[in-house]
Every structure is written in structure tokens, then in C-alpha cells.
Amino acid sequence: MQARVSFMDRSLIGDVRLPTDKSISHRAVIFAAMAEGESQLVGVLDSADVRSTIDAVRALGAHVEVQVSDERGLRLKVTGWGADGPSRPGAPIDCGNSGTTARLIMGVVAGWPISVTLVGDASLSRRPMRRVADPLIAMGAHVELSFEGTMPAEIAGRALRAVEYHSPVASAQVKSAVLLAGLRADGVTTVVEPASSRDHTERMLPGFGVEVTVDEAGRSASVTGLAVLRACDVIVPADPSSAAFLVAGAVLVPGSHVRLPNVAVNPTRLAFARVLQRMGASIELRELPAMGGEPVATIVARHSVALGGVTVSAGEVPSLIDEVPVLAVVATQAAGTTRFEGVGELRVKESDRLQATHDALAALGADVRAGDDWLEVTGPTPLAGCTVASLGDHRLAMAWTIAGLVASGTTSIEGFEAVEVSYPAFAKDLAELGASVEVV
């Protein structure tokens, strides 16, 4: 599937009801599946990645009933396995493209006496899994990966030991996997990170009856086992990572004014907005009542004339890890150099996002340089429409679409169907704001 985006000689104007948050949706489904009793989940993201999680917990014995499926997402009734634990699945569990599904499920099953094989698509099968296997093995689980440390992953769960794990990477997926395994270990399990990653697990677990202790800097989190989750109802707010694309579009396209209601504005997800504000962008947050333990706001973004380059430090990166490609697009239109430091993790996302961002922006005519773990963009440079590839990566497909709004002529994005992973209605929403996006 290809998307053809035309240079915008009009403005992006309007309100968009964004898709709900992918990270929060995964956790709501997984925690409800682990819990004793029946949870009602409202506004679960209906996308390929979350469908992988729903299928995974069903294969492990949770009962998931889709009660409503509409443009607001899925309303699910989930009856969890509770104290009985998950059952042995009859076949390998296919996690599709979803790293969150694979890594969190590894932690979920590690402490139960069952054997589970996890497989994924070509992209997921290239991504590093030792970062989760190592702490789970240290806790006593048996985990086998390929020689390269990738999936398929075979997990034979058993009684676990509580650990204090110092993770070499700031990764919410690793942190969550270890904390979830820690619920099956007698005593206190702590994860310490080099920088704080998104904290949805820590925010949501208390609703399911599990206390989580977090240090002030948000760099360590602890749970005490053995613990069984209790059912809890969750309402999922809109996804700030999806918001980032429309915010970037509004900031770049002259005359634009876009309002995005009910977005999760958790500080561990919002560094993209802080960086854009530092660049001089007009972005406003209008606070709304919290949802499911998450702060929520309407984000208002407007065209911003005098953008300037900034430095994004390594410490900020975990809080904008999914937004670097689209921030780099904005940087092509900012005066001076924008430098992203410590972005090596981008090389092991759904694609090598560091190389891919360099290559696509260079093809569009930007002044861009990349090193092992840094990226620099100097602007402003006019962009010229050309054909760029998503490489099967949803965030790249959307970032290049935003670039296409300000590139002369037409920009064609190959492999546009990747947007199904997190934002299936992306082209439709952009078109409703006034963009010309043709999907063929």
C-alpha cells in the first residue's frame, strides 16, 4: 500500500479524536488477564499491536469479550486467570510486530509452571530479547532464545527469586517484564534504570490492587510478591505518540490550528512537546480530569513561524523515543542545528530508525548526519517530494507523511499499511484536517 501526500497550500484546521494509547491499552489488557475477576476496559486501542496482545492473553486462558468496537476503540470485558495462573497454550503465541506484547508476556509467564513459545514477524524476530531474558533467568526462569538473542523465545516458568535488577537500558518494556515477574517472586523485586522510562505499569498496577514503590527521580520501581491482581475497570486516554504527528504537522504548515482532546500527557511521554516548545513551537496543554491514573489534556498546536534548532540530551530520549523521526522532520524546517544525543536505541526499534531517518530525510533534501547513537539535522532546508519507504515501521510511515505536507510536489510513502500497528485512521484524520493524502 502506498500513500501519496501533496505539498499543503492550505492549513491543517480542526479537532481530531485520536486513537487511544497503545502502551496503556497493552497493559490494561494484560493486567486484566492476570487479575482475579472481571474487568471492563473502555477505549482499548483497536490496532494490530493490541490485537496481538488480546490474542496472546486469550491463548493463555483469559476470557476476552469484545462488547463494542467503534471509532472510540474497543470496549472489552476481560475475565482473568487470577490465582489459577495462565494455562499452557496449545501452539506458539504470535506477537506479530509488537515488542510490548512479546516482552511483557515473557515476564507474565516466567513465574508459572507452563512452557510458552513466543514468535513474531520478521521485524520483531530481529529485535533484542536478551535484555528481558537475562533478568528473568536471574530470577530463576528458563528462557531460550536464538543464538543472536532474538525470538522465537521459549519460556519454561518456575518459582522465581526476587531481585534488584540494574537494567543497562532505559526500557519500559524491560522494566515492566521484570516487575510483572516480580509479582510471582517471594519478596521485593526492584528495577533500577539508567534514565526513567515511561511509567504506565507503575501507575496502573495500584488500580489492580498491587502497590508499587517508586523513587523520587522515577529511576527505580519495586513490587512485593507473591501478589495476585484484582479486577479493575480502565478507561484509556488518547495516545501522545500519535498526537505528535498531528502536532508536528500543525507546527509546520502555515495557518494551521489543531486541537487534540483527551490526550495522555504523562510526563514520561511528553518530551516531544517540551522539545518542540524549546524550538519555539506554539503548543498548549489544557488540563482535563485524569483517566486511569494518567494525567490528560487537550493539546492545541498552531503553526509556528520562528523555529530554532535545539539539543536533545540523552536523558530526555526515553521520554520521546518514539517521536525522534517526526521531531527530525520538524528540525529540517528550524533555523540552525538540532542534535539528538544518545539515540542508539532507535537502531533496535521496529526498524533501524536512526539509519532510516537519516536516509529518508537525505532523500527529501534535508541536511542530515547520523553517527552510532546521534543524529543531527541542520535547517531550514526546502524539502522536495520523492518516494520514501516505511520499512514496515508505523512511526516512519507517519513521519514521512508529515514531511510530505511541507515537501514540494508529491511524496510517496511505500509500505504505508504499517500505520495499522498504532494509528489505522491516520490518513483519514489528516485528510479531515485538510491534507491531501491518497492511499492506493
Nearest approach, Cβ of residue 219 and ligand S3P (Å): 14
Nearer to ligand S3P (CB atom), residue 198 or residue 203:
198
Nearer to ligand S3P (CB atom), residue 94 or residue 199:
199
**Nearest by Cα to 384 from 6, 1, 3, 36:** 6
Residue 322 annotated as catalytic: yes
**Nearest by Cα to 28 from 48, 46, 44:** 44
What lies within 8 Å, CB to CB, of 196 at 6+ separation is 170, 217, 218, 219, 268, 318, 319
What the block records as the C-alpha cell of 146 is 536464538
Nearest approach, Cβ of residue 346 and ligand S3P (Å): 9
Nearer to ligand S3P (CB atom), residue 345 or residue 363:
345
What the block records as the C-alpha cell of 237 is 486516554
Nearer to ligand S3P (CB atom), residue 79 or residue 220:
220
Task: Say if CB 398 and CB 355 are below 8 A apart.
Answer: no
Task: Say if CB 65 and CB 29 are below 8 A apart.
Answer: no
Nearest approach, Cβ of residue 242 and ligand S3P (Å): 11
Nearest approach, Cβ of residue 115 and ligand S3P (Å): 25
Nearer to ligand S3P (CB atom), residue 269 or residue 302:
269
Handedness of CA 402, 263, 191, 116 (dihedral sign): negative
- Chain residues in the site for ligand S3P (CB under 6 A): 23, 26, 100, 171-173, 176, 197-198, 321-322, 345
What lies within 8 Å, CB to CB, of 265 at 6+ separation is 240, 273, 285, 295, 296, 297, 299
Nearer to ligand S3P (CB atom), residue 5 or residue 397:
397
Nearest approach, Cβ of residue 171 and ligand S3P (Å): 4
Between CA 204 and CA 273 the distance in angstroms is: 23
Q: Point out the catalytic residue in the list 21, 46, 239, 322.
A: 322
Nearest approach, Cβ of residue 191 and ligand S3P (Å): 12
How wide is the angle at C-alpha 22 spanned by C-alphas 19 and 28, nearest 5°?
115
Task: Say if CB 181 and CB 107 are below 8 A apart.
Answer: yes
How wide is the angle at C-alpha 241 spanned by C-alphas 236 and 246, nearest 5°?
110
Catalytic residue numbers? Answer: 322
